[in-house]
Structure 1
């Protein structure tokens, strides 16, 4: 219910703990600082006090020592060799023996440890990132107990000092141990669930997508932020309930009503949505990985600006550009999931075609995230611009008719004949304006269509217009 500090910060460890993880744990008590000899004077001072306070306990004993946990993430190919070195360092610390010398071979092995994270009640140790330095610091701490940090605080109720004078003191009702265990389990479960989702999105998915589907990844990250806010509100709610129970405002039995093993419905629904979105994007990441291994380029057509309302010629220009050696597979997740056999057949045909024509660029155009309505999955080649129907549908429906993207008549810019034009002129004479005007002239059939449609701006330009005296 409070901010984690010292070794308790382990709850915020960002990585997953698996078979490649090693834990290096030390707990050692060294000395005790007690107020036992001053109890009589302390009791008199407290009893003579007339101030009202919200405090319920006084610290009467402090235990100091070493509390340390080192978390190591090892490489899978050097685990056994590194474990041998770790065992050597562990025995040295347990036996409190002189510093073990680490040779160059052992040092090379320790340098291959992927990450080292230290949690401790001694702040200086948590800043060290190399295991040999951590080991040397531990040996020094074992010999110098003055550098040890505080481990435990022993508390005594203030009412014990006041005796019968404690009428005005704040009441304190201790919760039952089983209720506290239920609360702790609930909070740890919520924290762990949030950590797993964060790691899955910001590490696993991020690496899998390799820069693709960034908009969808950002949407999931925003959902995670929303989930984090809901968790914080839930913790604040439980915090207030616990305070009211301890000061006697509400009955202790209500903690079972407020805390259960199931999180609030709003949190459960959001977690379900996030999990579904993660699985969908993970499937997309695996598809992209498969496409790349088979020689395809992945293209999210939404990133090209392809949207509902664009004409076929415009979509064609955006997909093909001036590339005369490109074959494109147009599909989306719905077609791929609903007709896996047909999808595989078209996919295999394109791979076979690329083997006979090594210069051919294979592109997978994904319409999943675009507002453009794709009527049918199909393949299109910049060479002949002939769309192939889905072979698995012997009798296509009216909405799944054979169609080309774009129109049936190829525009001159999509033939195999290209003309390169060099446009020269001084700055400000209108080269960019001419190029933009020429592009709009080729795109729009009439002036009315040009006025109604969105102008094409290939090269951004700016100019000053003089109106009257301004």
Structure 2
């Protein structure tokens, strides 16, 4: 270590710096901005240079990954400290092996890094030619030129990222093989790596392999054997050269400083930038580097955890917790970006000669950093809770339990245990509900074993369904683990007539709004239809399409006129041979406060809004209007609480209507599951309306062209859900079911956005 520090000190004092060739476009004579660590151009040079063959041994290291926020891979593979800092502060573009900072997957103790470096040789200016000012074209003094490349080492730089399977026996075997590969590569620089068929089979267990290199031909390979075979090809073809390292010389050191031909004497403006250049001390560089390094590692861990480690079932059961975690992560990323921008400016200013040490220290120790660290700690706690929940749900599923959280049954803080039991059992008479929360799970781990006994009893009774209810995120707190119903349960085969407590104790429904059961309406009357559906199902698009159907008699007529847009619209369309995505917009989006197009997964429609259409007069000269009431979609990414609020808004809006003639539910065909709030929506709606409402339900399926205008796989899901309701008067038949597609309207809007279509 002492020798390394001594070498660096000598290099800095002599104006010479050795840098890894992150940007491969450098040439002898390339100009370099040492303030930001970037290449900024080339100069014409007549200087002589020479080639020196390298006799350095091959470097090959095997590095084990970790989730530690201090893990510094760039340091492990020998990238210089100033370069590492510039890469972390984004003043230098990441390419070649440095692109490993953008590795999009989780790094943990199952991750291995195989680093390989081989030097072919060096091209450098002759030492006697370093008085170069009379042999080069002088550069623009406005450029931040501090250094010039006087030597380039060519070779191969390579990082192989390998993700091992989570199986201890296989991990040990793969590690042994990787160590064998490392040792063989180190021994003989000319030896071709050869693996046995058993070795190849073992490497076939790798979950993932990704290559980062200065050699483009290596980057897309996915086999260790292919990688080293291609390395051998590159070695044999000596004309193929990839920059490995740059030697940078301070431009004021190109000629004797006191001579009349020095840069300072001949071109004082050009020398001014280089004279200001000041590298960071090792201690200061390391202190600064630690900040963006820890931020980057923590953010990357959180992103990959949420994107890769969370099963799909979490979106159904833990939407609120996921939304909270993703919101926390988004806030931290924004704060981190501002933090890095401020640090980068201070570092550039320091390298430019300004005294910024105190400001840097203040920033690294200030309140902003404390807030950022507190946010990271909170996010870590949230992710830890999610990870525990993942293990719990997986364990329950292995024991044949379904999982449910309190939000799926509208349980709140005012509910007692009996009310909770009623809510759970009112439509699930043949289910058993073990109830607990995170605190009870942690403090009463022995009682979790009781679940196994229940599971074993379940094996002999196929009519009994088991669902574990989680109250961890609810203000209702059971005092101990309980199983509902609380009455004695017969687990025998005859368990088919289980007594369920009466629901009389549940509060009565609010006043109902009359719903006309007759298809006839009086003269000049307005027909009110409520439109309900999941977020993104296409309610607003349907209303727009409906308006155009009323105005235009044919598609040709609509094509030659401006489309009618009663609700602003925005959607993505794929066009062209390269499948480019374009955002199609139409309508005065900025002037409306009821539509939000900025947040994916949230309902575009924010509040209930009516759209009235004049219908044609009938033969008896009746004039009718149709009022379609657009509503916020349920299944909002903000969670079940937002769905509940939206439902309250809808019921309040309905309460202002004298009559509601029909309710139209919009659904997508071929859904794999119905949104968990869909059933709750039905129950709340019909507790609010008169019983006759059940005869005026319409089911509409959007985007139905893909299912040949049928309900597709959604039909059996809907039938099952309707059958589970306490009422059996809701019809789902051909007479009240309609399938359509609003593609023609999207086509009209796309035409107005100058998207071209090919007639086929």
Q: What is the root-mean-square deviation in Å for CA atoms of aligned residues?
A: 4.6
Tell me by how many angstroms 1:274 deviates: 0.9
- TM superposition shift of 1:6: 1.7
Map of 2:208 onto structure 1: 115
Deviations 1:252-273 (A, max 9, x none): 4543333359980121111121
Offset of residue 433 of structure 1: 6.7
Given that 1:296 and 1:362 are in contact with CA atoms closer than 8 Å, whether structure 2 keeps it comes out as yes
Flag the 1:131–1:352 CA change in 2: closer, same or farther, 3 A: closer
Deviations 1:160-215 (A, max 9, x none): 35123454322222322221122223332332233333344444444895964244
Q: Distance in 2 between matches of 1:132 and 1:302?
A: 52
Within 2, Cα distance between the matches of 1:117 and 1:187? Answer: 24
- Tell me which moved more, 300-309 or 118-127: 300-309
Q: Distance in 1 between matches of 2:303 and 2:445?
A: 35
SS of the residue 1:156 aligns to? strand
Q: Is the counterpart of residue 58 in structure 1 residue 173 in structure 2?
A: no
Q: Distance in 2 between matches of 1:434 and 1:166?
A: 82
Cα pair distance change 1:153/1:365, threshold 3 Å = same
Residue in structure 2 matched with residue 384 of structure 1 by the alignment: 499
1:139 maps to which of 232, 242, 246: 232
Contact 1:22 1:72 in 2 (8 A): yes
Matched with 2:185 is 93
CA distance in 2, matches of 1:78, 1:441: 53
Question: Cα distance 1:265–1:356, how it changes in 2: closer, same or farther (>3 A)?
Answer: same
What is the CA-CA distance between 1:241 and the residue it aligns to?
0.6
Query: Given the alignment of the two structures, is residue 70 of structure 1 paired with residue 164 of structure 2, yes or no?
Result: no
Where 2:342 maps in the other structure, the secondary structure is: helix
Alignment of 1:223 onto 2:328: yes
| Residue of structure 1 aligned with 2:464, choices 360, 368, 378 | 360
Q: Residues 112-167 of structure 1, C-alpha deviation per residue, up to 9 Å, x if partnerless? A: 22222222221221211111111201222232333231111222223335123454
267-276 or 101-110: which moved more?
Answer: 101-110
Q: Which residue number corresponds to residue 429 of structure 1?
A: none
Question: Following the alignment from structure 1 to structure 2, what is the Cα–Cα distance between the partners of residues 84 and 441?
Answer: 62
Deviation string 1:45-86 (CA, Å, 9 cap, x unpaired) is 466x67433222222222211111223233433345445654
2:278 counterpart of 1:163: no
1:210–1:256 distance in 2 versus 1, CA, 3 Å: closer
Return the structure number with greater relative CO, CA threshold 8 A, min gap 6: 1
Q: CA deviation at 1:220?
A: 0.9
Quote the offset at 1:298 in angstroms.
0.9
Report matched runs for 1:4-403 at 5 Å.
4-13=94-103, 14-18=105-109, 20-36=110-126, 39-43=130-134, 45=136, 51-75=141-165, 76-83=168-175, 85-86=177-178, 89-90=181-182, 93-94=185-186, 95-97=188-190, 99-161=192-254, 162-168=263-269, 169-170=272-273, 171-206=276-311, 212-259=317-364, 264-303=369-408, 319-320=424-425, 323-333=428-438, 336=440, 340=444, 354=458, 357-369=461-473, 379-380=484-485, 383-386=498-501
Contact 2:211–2:221 (CA<8 Å) still a contact in 1? yes
Instruction: Give the secondary structure class of the aligned counterpart of 2:145.
Output: coil
Partner of 1:468: none
Distance 1:306 1:241, change over 3 A: same
TM-score, normalisation: structure 1: 0.71
Name which of structure 1's ranges 357-366 and 223-232 shifts more when overlaid on structure 2. Answer: 357-366
After superposition, give the CA deviation of every residue in 1:408-451 in whole Å (9 maximum; x if it has no partner).
59x9xxxxxxxxxxxxxxxxxxxx97999xx999965xxxx647
Q: What are structure 1's unaligned runs of at least 5 residues?
A: 387-403, 412-431, 464-470
Match of 1:398 in 2: none
CA contact (8 A) 2:162 2:206 kept: yes
Aligned residues: 412
With over 3 angstroms needed to count, the CA separation of the structure-2 counterparts of 1:174 and 1:118, relative to structure 1, is same
Q: CA deviation at 1:7?
A: 1.6
Instruction: Pick closer, same or farther for the CA change 1:262–1:25 going to 2, 3 Å.
Output: farther
Please give the TM-score of this superposition, normalised by the length of structure 2.
0.46
Contact 1:175 1:252 in 2 (8 A): no
Question: Contact 2:436/2:470 (CA < 8 Å) preserved in 1?
Answer: yes
* CA distance, structure 2, for counterparts of residue 441 and residue 143 of structure 1: 75
The DSSP-based 3-state class of the residue aligned with 1:78 is helix
Deviates more, 1:295-304 or 1:315-324: 315-324
Q: Deviations over 1:215-247 (max 9, x none)?
A: 422331232222122222111111111122222
2: distance between equivalents of 1:160 and 1:357?
88
Which residue does the alignment assign to 1:421?
A: none
Shift in Å, 1:300: 2.3
SS state of the match for residue 264, structure 1? helix
Do the aligned residues in 2 keep the contact of 1:89 with 1:135 (CA within 8 Å)? no
Structure 2: gaps of 5 or more residues: 1-88, 255-262, 487-496, 509-660, 666-681, 701-735, 737-760
Which SS does the other structure have where 2:328 is aligned?
helix
Report what 2:649 is aligned to.
none
Per-residue CA deviation, residues 289-308 of structure 1 (Å, 9 max, x unaligned), is: 34334432111242456668
Distance 1:237 1:59 in 2: 29
Do the aligned partners of 1:73 and 1:113 also contact (CA within 8 Å) in 2?
A: yes
> Per the alignment, in what secondary structure is the counterpart of residue 243 of structure 1?
helix
The 2-side partners of 1:458 and 1:98 are apart by 80
